[in-house]
Amino acid sequence: MEKTVTGTNVQVGDKMFSLIEELYPICRSITGEGVRKTLNILKKQFPLEVYEVPSGTEVFDWTVPKEWNINDAWIKDTKGNKIIDFQDSNLHVLNYSIPVDRKVTLDELKEHLHTLPEQPDLIPYRTSYYNERWGFCMKHATLESLDEGEYHAFIDSSLEEGSLTYGELYIEGETEEEILISCHVCHPSLCNDNLSGISVATQLAKDLLAGENRYSYRLLFIPGTIGSITWLSQNEEKLRNIKHGLVLSCVGDEGHVHWKKTRKENSEVDRAVARVLEESNDAFELLDFSPYGYDERQFSSPGIRLEVGCFMRSPWGTFPEYHTSADNLDFVHPESLEDSFNKISSVLQLLEDNRTYKNLNPKCEPQLGRRGLYSKTGGQSQQAVDHMAVLWVLNLSDGSNSLLDISERSNIPFNAIRVAADALKEVNLLKEM
Amino acid sequence: MEKTVTGTNVQVGDKMFSLIEELYPICRSITGEGVRKTLNILKKQFPLEVYEVPSGTEVFDWTVPKEWNINDAWIKDTKGNKIIDFQDSNLHVLNYSIPVDRKVTLDELKEHLHTLPEQPDLIPYRTSYYNERWGFCMKHATLESLDEGEYHAFIDSSLEEGSLTYGELYIEGETEEEILISCHVCHPSLCNDNLSGISVATQLAKDLLAGENRYSYRLLFIPGTIGSITWLSQNEEKLRNIKHGLVLSCVGDEGHVHWKKTRKENSEVDRAVARVLEESNDAFELLDFSPYGYDERQFSSPGIRLEVGCFMRSPWGTFPEYHTSADNLDFVHPESLEDSFNKISSVLQLLEDNRTYKNLNPKCEPQLGRRGLYSKTGGQSQQAVDHMAVLWVLNLSDGSNSLLDISERSNIPFNAIRVAADALKEVNLLKEM
Amino acid sequence: MEKTVTGTNVQVGDKMFSLIEELYPICRSITGEGVRKTLNILKKQFPLEVYEVPSGTEVFDWTVPKEWNINDAWIKDTKGNKIIDFQDSNLHVLNYSIPVDRKVTLDELKEHLHTLPEQPDLIPYRTSYYNERWGFCMKHATLESLDEGEYHAFIDSSLEEGSLTYGELYIEGETEEEILISCHVCHPSLCNDNLSGISVATQLAKDLLAGENRYSYRLLFIPGTIGSITWLSQNEEKLRNIKHGLVLSCVGDEGHVHWKKTRKENSEVDRAVARVLEESNDAFELLDFSPYGYDERQFSSPGIRLEVGCFMRSPWGTFPEYHTSADNLDFVHPESLEDSFNKISSVLQLLEDNRTYKNLNPKCEPQLGRRGLYSKTGGQSQQAVDHMAVLWVLNLSDGSNSLLDISERSNIPFNAIRVAADALKEVNLLKEM
């Protein structure tokens, strides 16, 4: 599994897992101190720019909401015992809950409780960003054990003018054309969704900063939905440079990789991902685009139309741990994180390498022998794959086929095609378009 | 089964069957009193215009033939017994037979007889429109029972200057664009082919007259081949408005629905029919276009090129009752007629509803919550299909996708897509193109 | 099997086999007397033009090599016994071997020997055109029987300024548009690869010369690779007329036909071959284009781009006899040669006949009855296929569909479509575009 693009022989998967461990306890939401703490931890690893957008700012059809913060929360029974405690799990509070400090009957309390009757030992994750109310989430088993009587509901939260916080890293490459990598940072103590995405994006950032890139890269660490809408509304002039995009989510579980295609469904990034996954010989699945899911929804809206897909292992909603307290540190694995990282790195490398050439000797084949590109004894029926790659590159390099086109048509691994193209370029038989 | 588009809760299938019963005894042909009587019966149900085109009129490559009428016909044996009698079945006479009143030997008679040796108890239906001759059709069993001897062949028919008769109904809609519905009226006592088509077209006429339509509708009740050629040659200026067309034939038997595609094979009407049939969960079959069959042959000729397909249950020639005396009142069923009527109505409704919109908030998703289009508590993994329909309509309504395009791509039922579009239009998020 | 396009009822397969027998003993290479002798034998059968291109001539990226000739060759053991002898098989010498006359140890000799350890009783065919060295090919069994000791290696060959020889036949047709047929003439005593191609091309030449053709034809009998490169570099102005091309190779073995598609993969010649093979009801296989194989490699290079595919029975490299002494007179069969000839003739005939027409009566069907193109009694459910062909030709002849398009869409055999078109042309219902 040790095959990072920088070649440093360290446990990349373990490093990504450690970052998840560090971020796990923080109570994040779409605004507030949780996001700031998270981004500050990332800043220790790479030069992330952190932006604050004031509450009330109009962002397309939306408005940046009030900032939400929370110190503590619990429910006590008549004896003063804490039934549930925010300090045990930040999932216990309905995310964006308004403050409360009230004694209520069990029946009244129940109107503010969220449980999972089918998964009685898990705490659900619930939010109420745009409807001001208070609430708690708990194990259904706990709810069932409650006696009639008075309960004390306490939430020490605040919902006030403040700002929405997001992080952005721009890495300048040889060209202005950009690849966008985006992950959300708004979920509290949930590991796969989406600390795994934050952690893999962090590793990619460090890796890309260490290398030389043809593309420029833009990495976004943003709250889901409102974050992408905010960023898009404030950065419209940057969109024309974004050629390809990947949203990362749920990249740490043990499932195989799923790629949700872009709205266009045959974008270059779709084809690059498909090629990398096919060549990996691992199981994988390509999913059709749909206008639901993560921030690819916003990036793919008809007035934005970026070619952005979503890279996942198990897709959201398909695993029982999704949006529950079971999406914890046991659910993500260094091996899975590293495999996700490696595959995404390969996709980026393929995009970097996917050039289009023109054969400078287009009339008949050039004599490869005198250029050292051909074994000099003819007549054998078996030819090395590399030689076939050379012939395919020469034949299809009429200016209309990229190396990915050639790899797809010949069904020769992309890297063999790239190596052949490099060799041909070296002997001046190819010119980049 | 009671789901007519007008919503009146009557036995529509039974009404259509009754009309077939009334029309069944009439001896129709491509010209003559039979067609006139038939159209006069239809006129009692809706304001059909009846046209007469004189014999000898040139219609493209053809000439309107002489008008054929018949009063009586029989064959008598030497004892004066009627072997066959036109009064028992009008199929007994070769349709368009010239008159005869002659005593002939059995051998000579046989040259004028048509039977079905493989189906000895059925009378075949045969015609001779463009080759003047006399003839009879009978059960093969009857033929086999005939003794040698002299027979008296008598046909009291006439073939004289007259006219070709057809009926037309134009229903003006909001736009000049038309949907054409055509059926043939030239077959004598045959129920599925094509009294069923006449009867379903009649019900559609009444239904369309009772409603408000975006499209204008043109319904043709015409003799096969020569009727469509005549109509086309005299109405060329009307063709440019005809956007979609359905020929109806054999729509009353118990088989499942077959749709013979238009010459283009992916016309809007082809896709509308396919969508309705797929969503019905009933068995159905789509047939490739071929330049044989009913009047879609003429509508699809290279100089006419209307997008017209053919809606059938069992296709002509595929059922043993086809063009025989067994295509009688027992062979068609109110339930089948009603199912055909309902499905065709759904196709018309889909075409009526198939608009193309432009999302007026194309940059990112609009905030659906504040417009009452979204359940206000986030975080659940399950979304109602209607919400997905809303998202698909917003995402694909860039002016290039119709609601049918969106239904096909999302695989969400057309009506759910239409309902979503209506809701979005109501809150000013969509504008019709 | 006797169905040549000229209709002469002779054993065409046997004639082609006899030509192979006559050519088999000659030691051919990419230059030299072997090719000249071969072409002179062909000249006895049809007026082939023979061209000589001097060594040193620059042909695109290549240079015409020195001419190679050989008189004798052998290896003798210490006792003077000939271990192998060129007079037994010309495969014993590495094709293009430089001369040698030297006593060497067994170890030194082995560096110059080529054998097939997996097929110990066969002599391999090996060449070294662009790397000057000497060598022998022998059975691996012979090699294994050799004792240590001194051996006398003798090759009486010459590599000197001379020329490259090729043959060309141009047959003028009604139009300047050409069909190219190419085969290679550079292999020594090997029957399927490619005396079979030479022999079938010869038969085609005689046949085409005997008939009247719409297309002009150009037949090339050229050394592989350097021959096609030479011809292309010296005939660039002729390329614009070449509309279709077939390379013939390995057309005499008992395998079924394989067609390697043109670079474009849906060229008219690809579709013509597919149609002929489908209609033959024999097994066949269509292979995707790849830039390896025979001279279609050069014809398909990006600066040449002719629509040339390769007609084979068993493809090169897929049969154990390939490039060994087992590709001898036992491996090719008159029946296979004749079947190849017949199928290629049918392809050429289809291309000759594949015209595009315009229906001169495009508005509705013309009245076929009065033109004798229709049985005059209507009403039957069965229609002869010819009538369907007539209707399809009328319906699709809008100037955009060729007869091959119509045959493909209707799935009616091409000849039935052509016969229908001829009949319609005769009654002035069609005009050629």
Encode pLDDT of C33-83 as tens digits: 999 999 999 999 999 999 999 999 999 999 999 999 999 999 999 999 999
Separation CA A323–CA B227 (nearest Å):
67
Q: List pLDDT tens digits, range C352-408.
A: 999 999 999 999 999 998 888 865 344 443 334 389 999 999 999 999 999 999 999
Residue A319 pLDDT: 96
Residue A375 pLDDT: 54
Q: How far is CA A241 from CA A178, B330, B394, in A?
A: 6, 70, 25
- List the structure tokens of B81: 């017994």
DSSP 3-state assignment of B40? helix
Residue C386 pLDDT: 81
Residue C384 pLDDT: 44
Burial class (CB in 10 A: 0-12, 13-18, 19+), A250: buried
In this structure, the number of other CB atoms found within 10 A of the CB of residue C236 comes to 12
- List the structure tokens of B137: 């059709």
Chain mean pLDDT for chain B: 94
Type of residue found at C422: D
Q: Is C99 on the interface with B (CB under 8 A)?
A: no
A12-54+163-353 CATH: 3.40.630.10
Burial class (CB in 10 A: 0-12, 13-18, 19+), A115: buried
> Is C2's pLDDT higher than 60?
no
Q: In which element (H, E) is residue C337 found?
A: helix C334-353
Residues in chain B within 8 Å Cβ distance of C410? 290
Nearest to B298 by CA among B225, B202, B221: B225
pLDDT > 70: percent of chain C: 95
Q: Is C370 on the interface with B (CB under 8 A)?
A: yes
* Mode of pairing for the β-strands spanning C178-184 and C216-222: parallel
User: In which residue ranges of chain A is CATH 3.40.630.10 found?
Assistant: 12-54+163-353
Q: Is C300 on the interface with A (CB under 8 A)?
A: yes
pLDDT > 70: percent of chain A: 95
What does the pLDDT average to over A102-118? 97
Nearest to A390 by CA among A367, A378, A382, A399: A367
- List the structure tokens of C156: 């009486």
Topology classification of domain C67-160: Glucose Oxidase; domain 1 (3.50.30)
- Among the residue ranges B366-370, C15-19, C199-203, C309-313, the one predicted with the least confidence is B366-370
For residues C190 and A380, the model is more confident at C190
Residue B375 pLDDT: 54
Q: How confident is the model at residue A372 (pLDDT cuts 50, 70, 90)?
A: confident
Q: Going edge to edge, which strands form the sheet with C356-359?
A: C398-402, C356-359, C430-432
What does the pLDDT average to over A308-318? 96
Chain mean pLDDT for chain A: 94
Q: List pLDDT tens digits, range A190-212.
A: 999 989 999 999 999 999 999 99
Separation CA B382–CA B27 (nearest Å):
62
Interface of B with A in 399-418 (CB under 8 A): 410
CA angle B120, B72, B166 (to 5 degrees): 95
In this structure, the number of other CB atoms found within 10 A of the CB of residue B150 comes to 13
User: In which residue ranges of chain C is CATH 3.40.630.10 found?
Assistant: 12-65+163-353
> Is C11's pLDDT higher than 90?
no
ipTM of the complex: 0.93
C396 and B302: CB-CB below 8 Å? yes
Q: How far is CA A251 from CA A16, A79, A324, C29, in A?
A: 11, 44, 17, 61
A363 and C303: CB-CB below 8 Å? yes
List of residues 6+ apart from B391 with CB closer than 8 A = A290, A291, A292, A297, B365
Separation CA A352–CA A268 (nearest Å):
12
Check the CA dihedral B253-B254-B255-B258 and report its sign.
positive
Residues in chain B within 8 Å Cβ distance of A322? 381
> Is A2's pLDDT higher than 50?
no
Residue C3 pLDDT: 38
Separation CA A214–CA A178 (nearest Å):
9
Cβ pair C417, C394 in contact under 8 A:
no
Separation CA C195–CA C251 (nearest Å):
9
Nearest to C294 by CA among C310, C283, C271, C272: C310
What does the pLDDT average to over B87-94? 98
Separation CA A327–CA A329 (nearest Å):
7
Check the CA dihedral A114-A118-A121-A122 and report its sign.
negative
B392 and A130: CB-CB below 8 Å? no
CA angle B193, B198, B202 (to 5 degrees): 160
Q: How far is CA C130 from CA A363, A386, B352, C64, C113, in A?
A: 20, 20, 73, 11, 18
Q: How confident is the model at residue A373 (pLDDT cuts 50, 70, 90)?
A: confident
Q: How confident is the model at residue B372 (pLDDT cuts 50, 70, 90)?
A: confident
Check the CA dihedral B137-B142-B144-B149 and report its sign.
negative
Peptide bond just before C401 cis, omega within 30 deg: no
What does the pLDDT average to over B390-415? 97
Angle between helices B334-353 and B268-280 (to 10 degrees): 130
Mutate to test the interface with A, among C28, C30, C60, C187 (most CBs of A within 10 A): C60
CA angle A137, A140, A141 (to 5 degrees): 130
- Alpha helices, DSSP H only, in C177-251? 196-210, 226-234
Per-position DSSP letters for B164-181, written without gaps between them = EEEEEEEE--SSS-EEEE
Mutate to test the interface with C, among A358, A364, A385 (most CBs of C within 10 A): A364
Peptide bond just before B194 cis, omega within 30 deg: yes
CATH of B356-432, one of 3.90.1150.10, 1.10.10.10, 3.40.50.720, 1.10.540.10: 1.10.10.10
Q: Is A369 on the interface with C (CB under 8 A)?
A: yes
Separation CA B383–CA A108 (nearest Å):
27
Q: What subunits make at least 3 CB pairs under 8 angstroms with B?
A: A, C
Q: Is B375 on the interface with A (CB under 8 A)?
A: no
Dihedral (Cα; C181, C186, C187, C193), 10-degree rounding: -10
Separation CA B120–CA B141 (nearest Å):
5
What does the pLDDT average to over B24-42? 98
List of residues 6+ apart from B294 with CB closer than 8 A = B184, B224, B247, B249, B310, B316
The percent of chain A in helix, strand and coil, each rounded to the nearest 5, is 35, 25, 40
Separation CA B35–CA B252 (nearest Å):
20
Check the CA dihedral B271-B277-B280-B283 and report its sign.
negative
CA angle B115, B85, B199 (to 5 degrees): 80
> Is A6's pLDDT higher than 60?
no
Separation CA C233–CA A68 (nearest Å):
76
Q: List pLDDT tens digits, range B409-433.
A: 999 999 999 999 999 999 999 999 9
> Is A5's pLDDT higher than 80?
no
Residue B378 pLDDT: 45
Interface of C with A in 192-251 (CB under 8 A): 225, 228-229, 232-233
Separation CA B342–CA B3 (nearest Å):
7
Q: Is A378 on the interface with C (CB under 8 A)?
A: yes
What does the pLDDT average to over A9-37? 94
> Is A71's pLDDT higher than 60?
yes
CA C56 to chain centre: 28
- Among the residue ranges A305-314, A336-345, B6-15, the one predicted with the least confidence is B6-15
CA angle C101, C105, C107 (to 5 degrees): 120
Separation CA B192–CA B324 (nearest Å):
11
Nearest to B30 by CA among B185, B146, B171: B185
Q: Which long-range contacts (CB under 8 A, 24 or more apart) does B369-374 make?
A: B369/A130, B369/A131, B370/A130, B371/B427, B371/B429, B372/B427, B373/B423, B373/B424, B373/B427
Residue C253 pLDDT: 98
> Is A86's pLDDT higher than 90?
yes
Residue B140 pLDDT: 98
Q: Is A119 on the interface with B (CB under 8 A)?
A: no
What does the pLDDT average to over A232-254? 98
Mutate to test the interface with B, among A61, A297, A306 (most CBs of B within 10 A): A61
Residue of B nearest to C364 (CA): B298
pLDDT > 90: percent of chain C: 93
User: In which residue ranges of chain C is CATH 3.50.30.90 found?
Assistant: 67-160
B61 and C365: CB-CB below 8 Å? yes
The superfamily CATH assigns to domain B12-65+163-353 is Zn peptidases (3.40.630.10)
Q: How confident is the model at residue B70 (pLDDT cuts 50, 70, 90)?
A: very high
What does the pLDDT average to over B189-207? 97
Cβ pair A220, A164 in contact under 8 A:
no
B292 and C361: CB-CB below 8 Å? no
